[in-house]
């Protein structure tokens, strides 16, 4: 950002383009030819900035994972009653998903064909594990229903949260507001869909 006008690529700006195409076509469905056309430079020019396709994937999923793991270190996730920490992490996960949408989308679609993909899958499992422990504590406190397997509940909760990447698209006017969507997700997850009167 030293120059005012930025018409040459850096690994960062190239990543923005690449991640968009990866999400449109799928990582395996994207060729360097696709990337070069989307970036407006030749295939070989891409190799001047990054070592190859997989480096772009690694940078992208790293960014997503950093965002997610960052949540677990925030005050709201380490202090207070377990149920409140669970809700905090849920809400913040929704927010990170929205803020880092293309990167998290890519992360959630990784299959495990390359070493980078397998590493990403392992780190994701680690994140799930950490969250699962939080839920377990909330059950012990009597704040979450105990009649449901905790691993199952974690998976369903984050299955719901992660499904955001399938349809959420940020609007130019900033609507729907990020915190409002996060509120709705938390509300539905913890209070359910049924009308309050039951």
Partner DNA sequence: GTCTATACCGTGATAGAC
Partner DNA sequence: GTCTATCACGGTATAGAC
| Nearest CB to DNA, comparing residues 14 and 64 | 14
Site size toward DNA, by CB under 7 A: 23
For residue 43, CA distances in Å to 12, 34, 55, 60, 125 come to 17, 9, 15, 19, 34
Q: Which does 11 bind (CB under 5 to 8 A by kind): DNA, its own copies, none?
A: none
Distance CA(102)–CA(154), nearest Å, equals 23
Phi-psi region of 142 (alpha: psi -120 to 50; beta: other; left: phi over 0): left
Burial of 51 (0-12, 13-18, 19+ CB in 10 A): exposed
Rounded-to-integer distance, Cα 82 and Cα 86, Å: 6
Decide: 14 and 49 in contact? Cβ < 8 Å. Answer: yes
C-beta closer to its own copies: residue 51 or 184 = 184
The dihedral over CA atoms of 151, 136, 143, 83, expressed in degrees to the nearest 10, equals: -100
Q: Which is nearer to its own copies, 75 or 197 (CB)?
A: 197
Site residues (vs its own copies, CB under 8 A): 24-26, 28-29, 83, 109, 111, 113, 142-146, 148-149, 152-153, 155-160, 162-164, 166-167, 181, 184-185, 187-197
Site string for DNA, 11-50 (x = CB under 7 A): -------------------xxxxx-x---xxxxxx-xxx-
* Binding pattern for the stretch 47-86 against DNA, x by CB under 7 A and - elsewhere: xxx-xxxx--------------------------------
Whose Cβ is closer to DNA: residue 31's or residue 180's? 31
Question: In which element (H, E) is residue 181 found?
Answer: helix 178-191
| Cis peptide leading into residue 135 (ω within 30°) | no
User: Measured from the CB atom, is 26 or 70 closer to DNA?
Assistant: 26
Region from 4-12, 63-71, 161-169, 175-183 binding DNA, contact rule CB under 7 A: 4-12
- Give the nearest distance from C-beta 197 to its own copies in angstroms: 8
- Residues of this chain that bind DNA (CB under 7 A): 7-10, 30-34, 36, 40-45, 47-49, 51-54
């Amino acid at each position: 950002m030293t120059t005012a006008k930025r018409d040459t690529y850096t690994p960062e700006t190239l990543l923005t383009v690449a991640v968009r195409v990866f999400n449109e076509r799928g990582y395996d469905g994207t060729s360097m030819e696709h990337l070069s056309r989307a970036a407006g430079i030749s295939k070989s020019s891409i190799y001047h900035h990054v070592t190859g396709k997989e480096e772009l994937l690694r940078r992208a999923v790293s960014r997503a994972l950093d965002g997610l793991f960052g949540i677990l270190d925030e005050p709201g996730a380490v202090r207070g009653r377990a149920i409140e920490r669970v809700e905090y992490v849920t809400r913040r996960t929704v927010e990170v998903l929205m803020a880092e949408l293309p990167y998290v989308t890519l992360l959630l679609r990784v299959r495990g064909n390359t070493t980078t993909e397998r590493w990403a899958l392992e780190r994701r499992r680690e994140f799930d594990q950490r969250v699962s422990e939080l839920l377990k504590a909330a059950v012990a406190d009597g704040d979450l229903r105990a009649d449901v397997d905790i691993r199952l509940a974690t998976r369903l909760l984050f299955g719901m949260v992660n499904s955001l990447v399938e349809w959420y698209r940020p609007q130019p006017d900033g609507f729907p507001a990020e915190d409002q969507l996060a509120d709705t997700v938390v509300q539905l997850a913890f209070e359910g869909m049924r009308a309050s009167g039951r």
